[in-house]
């Protein structure tokens, strides 16, 4: 049925109206759930005795539950771990088409990496995030971490504050119970944690594990006397933590006129049973020893002395610091005991180019630049430069910085030569570079210096706005902007390093651009390549299953000898197999065929992509691509061009547009490649 335009508009309006109504209902329902609920203590206690894990989870356990679905990656593949409402976990395989086992293995070896939905949008921080999760998990299990402070150490704008704010946001989704009227919203079980309460629980055969953790405040002890121990008179409130209302979420702000002790006491009161964000604690002067001692006591006994008497604290404490502050803190003997109570997690700048690109993509998507022309390779070039600036190189160390960037990104790179004394050996590039970074003495850890995330986003803005007419970005603008940015630096050695890096980036881009231009000169490049791959595998399969028989495909008939000739024609371009013995060629063909047939059997006979076998992909591409001379004849469009030449050039431009270039960028990059650098 054809829908007329006016009718279509009415359909859309009706759909929007229906969606808006459903949204309003869902919004109301969600806020209805967040309304504080009240019950008497005996009702609460009965529910707790029936199901203690669900009724009274600790702050760390609620925080862990708030992180949502977990995706666990390893060299064995990917799995999804879900937590049901009853607390039971379910595990199922995750079909993630973007998961590259080989790349994962290069980056993490045999390690497992867990990614939570809660951290979507935080890129390149898998290892630090996993350490944070390990801390929260151990704390939720009642291990030593429950008595420790999580300390995030990293350079400015490395994501420390973003992570803490994200944790607090998710903590707001998990309700908790507290005693109505309690200034520090105490845990309900604290009512029973008195000498009388514990004695009577024992006499009546009621066991409450971990009761000693919930210590009563001076306020609660007075209330017990006032109510003459009538448990039914205590009301329990179920509420959601709130940053705005300082309910189970608190932060010590910078520039507060209060003393450090006053700030800490207030934050401990408001942050009880939740998260206490002490982002400024490392900036406290050394003479604030009273506040730091109070913090130490909290980790040891989970309570503190205030002007109103004793008060409890059962929550997650998080501290932030830069490397200089952390070292100063660690080297001060006055803080040795508190240092032993801290679990330090390094939060460096992003050191993977693909993750840095994700940061730029998010920034662009959330700005007015989302519709501006953006040529391929632009963000990658900027990311490679920025990531390289963050990498360490000790005096006297000589290596290819761009190769190091690629190794840290998990790309497949050549092994490097390691020289020890008079001996040398070829070793894994990533391990070699990381070992070098660790042996660099007297300097910040890798990723603790260089261009910050904030400054890289400013560079991104400069790149897009370099064109005074309209925003756009391409690698040539990136090169110009980076040259200008490098010239602004005061450090001569740094200038020289960055100028050399820009030269490398320019050379690498020329190779990428050449590939784009060559593939754009082949109409239907992807389809042609896939057809060649499918044909190669089908020929192999026929020779394996029906040796000696003629091959038929529609009206085409080929003899086994013709099939072999066509196979050899493709294989002549496989560099790594040249000079190999017949048995090795047979094994090579057999591996490709087996993997393809296995893939088809589990994917409804769909064929693998032609780029999945690198050696074969390169061979097929070498066969279908034109020579440099043929390519240049298509790219150039002289006044004497024939109709056929004009048509081929037009098709070339169309293919480049499909790759993501704008019309202007096609001609600009073509001129650059042909040696006429654009002004």
Rounded distance between C-alpha atoms, residue 17 and residue 352, angstroms: 44
DSSP-assigned letter for residue 158: S
Mean pLDDT of 108-118: 87
3-state secondary structure 44-100: HHHHHHHCHHHHCCCHHHHHHHHCCCEEEEECCEEEEEEECCCCCEEEEECCCCCCC
pLDDT of 192 > 50? The answer is yes
**pLDDT at residue 349, as a whole number:** 96
Closest listed residue to residue 409, CA positions, set 348, 350, 479 = 350
Q: Report the sign of the C-alpha dihedral through residues 456, 459, 463, 468, in that order.
A: positive
Closest listed residue to residue 33, CA positions, set 245, 238, 274, 270 = 238
pLDDT band for position 638 (cuts 50, 70, 90): low
**pLDDT at residue 533, as a whole number:** 93
Task: Find all residues with CB under 8 Å of 253, minimum gap 6, and list them.
Answer: 263, 280
pLDDT band for position 134 (cuts 50, 70, 90): very high
Which pair of structure tokens corresponds to residue 396? Answer: 């006297």
Q: Please compute, for residue 251, the number of CA atoms within 13 A of its CA located in the half-sphere on the CB side.
A: 15
Per mean pLDDT, which of 72-76, 336-340, 397-401 is the most reliable? 336-340
pLDDT of 448 > 50? The answer is yes
Closest listed residue to residue 519, CA positions, set 655, 374, 672 = 655
Residue 427 host element (H or E)? strand 423-427
Which pair of structure tokens corresponds to residue 506? Answer: 């320019």
Beta strands across the sheet bearing 70-74: 89-93, 77-83, 70-74, 113-116
Closest listed residue to residue 279, CA positions, set 152, 94, 459 = 152
pLDDT of 606 > 70? The answer is yes
Query: How far does Cα 521 stand from its chain's mean position?
Result: 36
Give backbone dihedrals phi and psi of 110, rounded to 5 degrees, phi first.
Answer: -95, 5
Mean pLDDT of 135-149: 94
Whole-model pTM: value is 0.86
**pLDDT at residue 582, as a whole number:** 82
DSSP-assigned letter for residue 490: -
Closest listed residue to residue 289, CA positions, set 337, 254, 344 = 337
Mean pLDDT of 644-662: 93
Each residue of 469-504: pLDDT tens digit? 899 999 999 999 999 999 999 999 999 999 999 999
pLDDT of 8 > 90? The answer is no
| 3-class DSSP assignment, residue 663 | helix
Each residue of 569-600: pLDDT tens digit? 998 888 767 777 888 888 989 999 998 898 88
| Opening angle at CA 134, ends 131 and 136, nearest 5 | 115
Find the range with the poorest average confidence among 128-137, 215-224, 436-445, 456-465: 436-445
Given the structure tokens 């591409």, which residue do they identify?
621
pLDDT of 86 > 50? The answer is no
605-610 long-range contacts, CB within 8 A, separation 24+: 607/530, 607/533, 607/534, 607/537, 608/533, 609/530, 609/533, 610/529, 610/530, 610/532, 610/533, 610/534
**pLDDT at residue 627, as a whole number:** 87
Each residue of 316-351: pLDDT tens digit? 999 999 999 999 889 888 889 999 999 999 999 999
- First and final C-alpha spacing in the chain: 54
What's the chain's average pLDDT? 88
Beta strands across the sheet bearing 316-321: 249-251, 275-278, 316-321, 149-153, 342-346
**pLDDT at residue 256, as a whole number:** 64
Which pair of structure tokens corresponds to residue 425? Answer: 């050996």
pLDDT band for position 3 (cuts 50, 70, 90): very low
**pLDDT at residue 1, as a whole number:** 37
| 3-class DSSP assignment, residue 587 | helix
Rounded distance between C-alpha atoms, residue 393 and residue 19, angstroms: 56
Closest listed residue to residue 185, CA positions, set 214, 154, 213 = 214
Q: 358 vs 90, 261, 374, 461, 576, CA distance in Å?
A: 30, 41, 14, 16, 34
Rounded distance between C-alpha atoms, residue 36 and residue 485, angstroms: 54
Residue 260 host element (H or E)? helix 260-271
Mean pLDDT of 616-630: 90
The two beta strands, 70-74 and 113-116, are: antiparallel
Which pair of structure tokens corresponds to residue 155? Answer: 């350079």
Given the structure tokens 């704390």, which residue do they identify?
139
> How many other CB atoms sit within 10 Å of the CB of residue 336?
11
Domain ranges (residues) in the chain: 53-274+307-313, 525-624
Per mean pLDDT, which of 64-68, 109-113, 149-153, 601-605 is the most reliable? 149-153
**pLDDT at residue 679, as a whole number:** 47
Closest listed residue to residue 274, CA positions, set 174, 153, 128, 134 = 174
Which pair of structure tokens corresponds to residue 84? Answer: 């049901």
DSSP-assigned letter for residue 306: E
Given the structure tokens 């630090």, which residue do they identify?
128
pLDDT band for position 73 (cuts 50, 70, 90): confident
Each residue of 350-390: pLDDT tens digit? 999 999 999 999 999 999 999 999 999 999 999 999 999 99
Rounded distance between C-alpha atoms, residue 297 and residue 311, angstroms: 12
Find the range with the poorest average confidence among 69-73, 90-94, 213-217, 271-275: 90-94
Q: 527 vs 290, 534, 607, 611, 631, CA distance in Å?
A: 72, 10, 13, 12, 19
Rounded distance between C-alpha atoms, residue 497 and residue 486, angstroms: 9
Closest listed residue to residue 527, CA positions, set 609, 600, 631 = 609
Given the structure tokens 């894994």, which residue do they identify?
428
Which pair of structure tokens corresponds to residue 206? Answer: 């009621």
The more confidently predicted of residues 281 and 129 is: 129
Each residue of 498-552: pLDDT tens digit? 999 999 999 999 999 999 999 999 989 999 999 999 999 999 999 999 988 999 9
């Amino acid at each position: 049925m054809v829908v007329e335009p006016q009718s279509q508009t009415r359909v859309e309006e009706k759909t929007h109206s229906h969606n808006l109504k459903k949204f309003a209902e869902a919004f109301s329902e969600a806020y209805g759930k967040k309304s504080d609920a009240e019950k008497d203590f005996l009702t609460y206690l009965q529910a707790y005795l029936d199901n203690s894990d669900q009724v009274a989870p600790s702050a760390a356990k609620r925080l862990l539950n708030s992180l949502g679905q977990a995706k666990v990656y390893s060299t064995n593949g990917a799995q999804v771990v879900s937590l049901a409402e009853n607390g039971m976990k379910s595990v199922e395989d995750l079909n993630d088409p973007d998961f590259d086992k080989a790349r994962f293995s290069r980056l993490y070896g045999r390690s497992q990496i867990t990614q939570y939905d809660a951290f979507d949008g935080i890129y390149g921080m898998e290892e630090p995030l996993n350490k944070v999760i390990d801390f929260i998990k151990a704390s939720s299990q009642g291990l030593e971490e429950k008595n420790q402070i999580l300390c995030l150490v990293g350079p400015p704008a490395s994501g420390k504050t973003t992570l803490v704010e994200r944790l607090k946001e998710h903590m707001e989704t998990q309700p908790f119970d507290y005693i109505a009227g309690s200034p520090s919203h105490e845990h309900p079980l604290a009512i029973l944690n008195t000498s009388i309460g514990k004695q009577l629980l024992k006499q009546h055969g009621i066991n409450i594990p971990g009761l000693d953790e919930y210590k009563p405040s001076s306020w609660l002890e007075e209330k017990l006397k006032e109510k003459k121990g009538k448990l039914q008179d205590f009301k329990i409130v179920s509420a959601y933590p709130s940053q705005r209302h300082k309910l189970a979420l608190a932060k010590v702000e910078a520039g507060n006129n209060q003393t450090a002790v006053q700030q800490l006491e207030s934050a401990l009161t408001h942050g009880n049973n939740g998260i206490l964000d002490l982002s400024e604690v490392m900036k406290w002067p050394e003479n604030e020893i009273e506040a730091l001692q109070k913090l130490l006591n909290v980790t040891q006994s989970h309570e503190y002395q205030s002007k109103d008497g004793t008060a409890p604290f059962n929550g997650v404490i998080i501290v932030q610091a830069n490397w200089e502050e952390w070292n100063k803190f660690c080297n001060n003997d006055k803080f040795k005991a508190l240092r032993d109570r801290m679990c330090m997690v390094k939060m460096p700048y992003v050191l993977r180019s693909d993750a840095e690109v994700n940061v730029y993509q998010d920034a662009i998507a959330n700005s007015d630049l989302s519709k501006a022309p953006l040529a391929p390779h632009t963000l990658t070039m900027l990311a490679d430069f920025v990531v390289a600036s963050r990498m360490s190189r000790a005096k006297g160390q000589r290596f290819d910085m761009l190769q190091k960037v690629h190794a840290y990104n998990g790309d497949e790179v050549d092994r490097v030569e390691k020289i020890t004394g008079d001996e040398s050996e070829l070793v894994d590039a990533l391990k070699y570079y990381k070992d070098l970074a660790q042996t660099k003495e007297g300097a910040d850890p890798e990723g603790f210096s260089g261009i910050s995330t904030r400054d890289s986003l400013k560079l991104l803005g400069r790149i897009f706005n370099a064109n005074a007419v309209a925003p756009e970005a391409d690698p040539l603008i990136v090169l110009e902007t980076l040259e200008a940015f490098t010239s602004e630096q005061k450090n001569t050695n740094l200038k020289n390093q960055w100028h050399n890096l820009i030269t490398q980036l320019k050379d690498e881009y020329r190779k990428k651009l050449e590939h784009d231009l060559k593939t754009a000169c082949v109409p239907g490049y992807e389809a042609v390549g896939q057809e060649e791959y499918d044909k190669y595998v089908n020929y192999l399969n026929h020779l394996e299953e029906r040796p000696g028989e003629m091959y038929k495909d529609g009206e085409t008939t080929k003899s086994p000898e013709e099939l072999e000739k066509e196979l050899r024609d493709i294989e002549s371009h496989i560099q790594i197999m040249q000079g190999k013995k017949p048995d090795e060629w047979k094994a090579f063909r057999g591996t490709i065929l087996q993997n393809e047939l296995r893939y088809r059997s589990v994917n409804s006979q769909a064929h693998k992509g032609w780029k999945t076998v690198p050696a074969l992909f390169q061979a097929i591409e070498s066969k279908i691509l034109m020579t440099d001379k043929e390519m240049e004849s298509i790219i150039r469009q002289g006044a004497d061009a024939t109709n056929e030449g004009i048509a081929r050039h037009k098709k070339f431009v169309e293919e480049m547009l499909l790759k993501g270039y704008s019309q202007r960028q096609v001609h600009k990059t073509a001129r650059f490649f042909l040696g006429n650098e654009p002004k």
